[in-house]
Structure 1
Amino acid sequence: MPFNSIHFIYFFGVICPIYWLFKANYKVQNLILLVGSLYFYSQVDLKLCVLWGVILLIIWSLGKAIETFQLRKVTLTLGLLLIFSQLFIAKYYNWLIGDFSHTISIYKFVSTIGLSYYTLAACSYLIDIYRKKLSPVTNPITLGAYLSFFPQLLSGPIPIAYKDLPQYSQPRSITINSVEDAGQRILWGIFKKVIVSGLLAKPVDYIFYNHSELGIIYLWLAIILYSFQVYMDFSGYSDMAWGIAKLLGIKINANFNSPFISRTIDEFWRRWHLSLSAWLKEYIYLPLGGRGNSKWQYMVNIFIVFFMSGVWHGANANFILWGSFNGLLFLFAILTGWTREKNDVQYGFKGFTSMFLVFLAIAFTRVFFRSPDFATAITYYQEMFRFGDYSIPDIGLEGLGLSLLIVIIEWLQRNRSHPADISAWSLSFRIAFYASSIIIIYWAWPTQNPTEYIYFKF
């Protein structure tokens, strides 16, 4: 049930008013969220609800056990093994072991959509209890509402338990300002996902499917367009998720902070897929020692984080290579000093040149991300340097233009809380802008079904 579907509009139009009827009782609101989330998830595959219910009861029981049992580390280890074992079976078993048709498993019959996201959320819950940053919830409905929260269930953002779970145990409120904030994000997200990403999908698919017959300018254009497509698709979904959660009085993590205005590799990763970066930092990078006592330890820890990011993305050698490739880029930036301080806000000619180089470096790695297998990726890379055919592309230019426009808006709005933040405008201008945006989106809405979210498969 994508956010940009009529089905979701009907679903949210029913659940949101019912939810706020019980504003005085957050426990009932949690029950409504849980039931609504299970219905939302069942639209993907009803069997997923069975799998999710079993996982919920296991996590809730283990959370209480970690706090009460003496063998806390053993209990945590058991819990993490159970959680990651079902992720392994669902996503990695066939890739590593092989597809045995006689194997009977629920995972052979259900989609794995959303599995990686609530797996990390569940691990965060158990680890935070073990680290005594969080007390286990006494009511499984509270935990269920948190883990299954439908705006972020299928494609994140990924929550961190000790930061995000407490709000499910307290009253929520909604104001005119919060409704307007939510509306800004939702409209911005729809424009990026449905309009811009939709325009980019066809030329990207065409070039990648026919790369052996096209010139090098086409191939370089494709990685640029695909980088924009992934960003518009994923950040658009994340903006809609943020806005929908805001309408329910729940704050979820931001997932992007204008990554394409980054001037260094490390800045890019402080702006891209923030919730995954925060999770990896909290539960892998810092436990490994963070920066450590030497540059080499710091570099090793950074590379491990990028390698794990590739593994998380899927059961495919290409994802691992993509993660490792980006890790090597980050290490190159460390060794060459191509980094910046967090409070450096200066741009200028050098800054814009660096922005272009960072974008191109990140886009170059995405051949692994987009290609179906290693052989295809290597062939594509070889063809990118096959000189002789310099045909000028006649596709994808409209999507490219809109993408560049969005980057310009993000740069101009870089000091605002979000690129869609127009709270400084007068009320009459804001109303006119919202009305115009709705008309433009309606007019530009694809006549065919919008493309599926790229990150649903993770």
Structure 2
Amino acid sequence: MPFNSINFIYFFGVICPIYWLFKANFKLQNITLLVGSLYFYAQVDLKLCALWAVISLITWSLGNALEHFQQRKTILWLGLFLIFSQLFIAKYYNWLLGDFSGTLSIYKFASTIGLSYYTLAASSYLVDIYRKKISPVTNPVTLGAYLSFFPQLLSGPIPIAYKDLPQYSQSRSISITSVEEATQRILWGIFKKVIVAGLLAKPVDYIFYNHSELGFIYLWLAIVLYSFQVYMDFSGYSDMAWGIAKLFGIKINANFNSPFISRTIDEFWRRWHLSLSAWLKEYIYLPLGGRGSSKWQYMVNIFIVFFMSGVWHGANANFILWGSFNGLLFILAILTGWTREKNDTQYGMKGFFSMLLVFLSIAFTRVFFRSPDFATAITYYQDMFKLNDFSIPDIGIMGLGLSAMIVFVEWLQRNKKHPADIFGWSLSIRLVIYASVISVIYWMWPTQNPTEYIYFKF
């Protein structure tokens, strides 16, 4: 049930008013969220919904066991094994080992949408209890509402328990300002995902499917367009998820912070897929020792994190290679000193060329991300350097132009909380902008079904 579907509008139009009828009782609000999220997830796959229930009960039970029994480390490792084994069997088993006589046929899902995100959220809960950063919730409905919260269930952002779970044990409220802020994010997200990413999808598909027949300029254009497509698609979804959650009085994590205005590799990864980066930092990078006592240890830990990011993205060697490739880029930046302090806001001509170099470096790795297998990716890379056809591409121009416009807006709004934040403008001007954006979205809305979210498959 995508956010930009008519079915979701009907669903939201029912659950949101019911939810706010219970504004004086957060427990009833949690029940409403849980029931609504179960219905939402059941529209994807009933088997996945059943697996979600199993993981939830395991997580809740072992979370309470961590509080009452002394074998805490054993309980934690048991919980992590049970949680991640479900993800492994459902998502990675056939890729690594093949199916033995249908023994695990129950795990043959039509999809594994949302399972990776759900697994990270559940494991975060157990680890944070073990670290005594939070206490286990006594009411399974509270945990269920938190883990299954439908705006972030299918494609994140990924919650971190000790930061996000307390919201579900207290009253929630909403204001006119909150509604307007949510509206800003939702409109911005719809424009990026439905309009811009939708325009980019066809030329990207065409070039990647026919790369052996096209000139090298087309192939370089495709990695640029695809990088924009992934960003517009995923960040658009994340903006909509953030705005929808805000309408329920719940704050979820931001997932992007204008990554394409980054001037170094490390700055890019501080701005891209923030919730996954935060999870990897909290539960892998820091336990490994973080920066460590030497540059060597720092680089090894960085590579492990990127390798694990590739593994998380999917049951495909290409994703592991993509993650490793980006890890090597990050290490190269460390070795060359091409890094940037967080408070460095200086731009200029040098900053512009640095932004362009970072963008192209990241885009170059996405051949692995987009290609269906290793052989296709290698062939694509080879074709990118065959300088035997200098024909100029005549596709993707509008999508490219709109993408550049969005990046420019992000640069202009770089000191704001979000690129869509226009609260500094007068109400009349804001209303004109909202009406204009709605009109543009309506005018440019695809006549065919909008493209599916790229990150649903993860």
Report the TM-score range of the alignment, normalised by the length of the smaller protein.
over 0.9
Backbone CA RMSD of aligned residues: 0.6
Counterpart for residue 200 of structure 2 = 200
Tell me the CA shift for residue 103 of structure 1.
Answer: 1.9
In structure 1, C-alpha distance between the alignment counterparts of 2:181 and 2:92, rounded to whole Å: 40
Counterpart of 2:157? 157
Corresponding residue number in structure 2 for 1:452: 452
Superposed, which structure 2 residues align to 1:291-302 within 5 Å? 291-302=291-302
The reply on whether 1:188 has 2:185 as its aligned counterpart is no
- Identify which range, 242-251 or 50-59, moves more after superposition: 50-59
Matches of 2:53 and 2:387, distance apart in 1: 56
Q: Quick one: distance in 1 between partners of 2:263 and 2:106?
A: 46
Q: Which residue of structure 2 aligns with residue 409 of structure 1? A: 409
Distance 2:373 2:208 in 1: 12
Structure 2 counterpart of 1:350, one-letter code: K
CA distance in 2, matches of 1:278, 1:103: 37
Q: Which residue of structure 1 lines up, in the alignment, with residue 89 of structure 2?
A: 89
Structure 1 runs (4+) greater than 4 angstroms displaced: none
Q: Summarize the alignment of residues 100-119 of structure 1 with structure 2, pairs less than 5 Å apart.
A: 100-119=100-119
1:124-273 pair list within 5 angstroms? 124-273=124-273
| Unpaired segments ≥5 residues, structure 2 | none
Instruction: Measure, in 2, the Cα distance between the counterparts of 1:384 and 1:102.
Output: 42
- Measured in 2, the distance between the counterparts of 1:311 and 1:168 equals 31
- Counterpart of 1:352 in structure 2 is 352
State the SS of the aligned residue for 2:112.
Answer: coil
Structure-2 residue corresponding to 1:437: 437
CA distance in 2, matches of 1:190, 1:450: 11
State the partner residue of 1:338.
Answer: 338
Question: Hey, what's the Cα distance between the residues in 1 that align with 2:153 and 2:105?
Answer: 23
Q: TM-score, normalised by structure 2?
A: 0.99
Q: Partner of 2:375: helix, strand, or coil?
A: helix
In 2, Cα distance between equivalents of 1:450 and 1:204 = 15
Equivalent position SS for 1:92: helix
Structure 1 length-normalised TM: 0.99
Distance (whole Å) between structure 2 residues aligned to residue 237 and residue 100 of structure 1: 37
Name 1:327's counterpart in structure 2. 327
1:29 equivalent in structure 2: 29
| 1:307 paired residue number | 307
Paired residue type of 2:257: N
Structure 1: runs of 5 or more not aligned: none
Aligned mates of 1:18, 1:406 — CA distance in 2: 36
Q: Please state if 1:65 is matched with 2:62.
A: no
Measured in 1, the distance between the counterparts of 2:413 and 2:37 equals 34
Measured in 1, the distance between the counterparts of 2:143 and 2:419 equals 33
After superposition, the Cα gap between the structure-2 partners of 1:38 and 1:384, relative to the gap in structure 1 and judged at 3 Å, is: same
Tell me the alpha carbon deviations over residues 149-181 of structure 1, each in whole angstroms, 9 at most, x when there is no partner. 000000000000000000000000000000000
Bigger drift between 39-48 and 104-113 goes to 104-113
Q: Deviations over 1:115-144 (max 9, x none)?
A: 000100000000000000010000000000
What amino acid is aligned across from residue 300 of structure 1 in structure 2? V
Shift of 1:233: 0.1
Over residues 192-236 of structure 1, what are the superposed CA-to-partner deviations in whole Å (9 max), with x where a residue is unaligned? 000000000000000000000000000000000000000000000
CA–CA distance in structure 2, aligned partners of residues 427 and 226 of structure 1? 36
Matched, 1:373 2:384: no
The one-letter code matched in structure 2 to 1:170 is Q
Quote the offset at 1:102 in angstroms.
Answer: 2.5
Alignment of 1:278-293 (within 5 A): 278-293=278-293
Per-residue displacement from partner, 1:28-54 (whole Å, max 9, x unpaired)? 000000000000001101222211111
CA distance, structure 1, for counterparts of residue 200 and residue 213 of structure 2? 20
Letter in 2 for 1:31: I
Q: Distance in 2 between matches of 1:48 and 1:311?
A: 21
How far 1:110 sits from its partner (Å)? 4.4
CA distance in 1 between counterparts of 2:419 and 2:58 reads 41
Residue in 2 aligned with 1:427?
427
Q: CA deviation at 1:104?
A: 3.4
How far the C-alpha of 1:101 sits from its partner, in A, is 4.1
Instruction: Name the CA distance, whole Å, in 2 between partners of 1:50 and 1:393.
Output: 48
Partners of 2:276 and 2:62 in 1: CA distance: 24
Structure 1, residues 29-87: CA drift from partner, whole Å, max 9, x if none? 00000000000001101222211111111110000001111100000000000001011
Question: Which amino acid letter does the alignment assign opposite residue 393 of structure 1?
Answer: P
Which amino acid letter does the alignment assign opposite residue 252 of structure 1?
I
Render the CA deviation track for 1:352-390: whole Å, top value 9, x for unaligned.
Answer: 000000000000000000000000000000000001101
Shift of 1:98: 1.1
Matches of 1:424 and 1:11 in 2, distance apart? 33
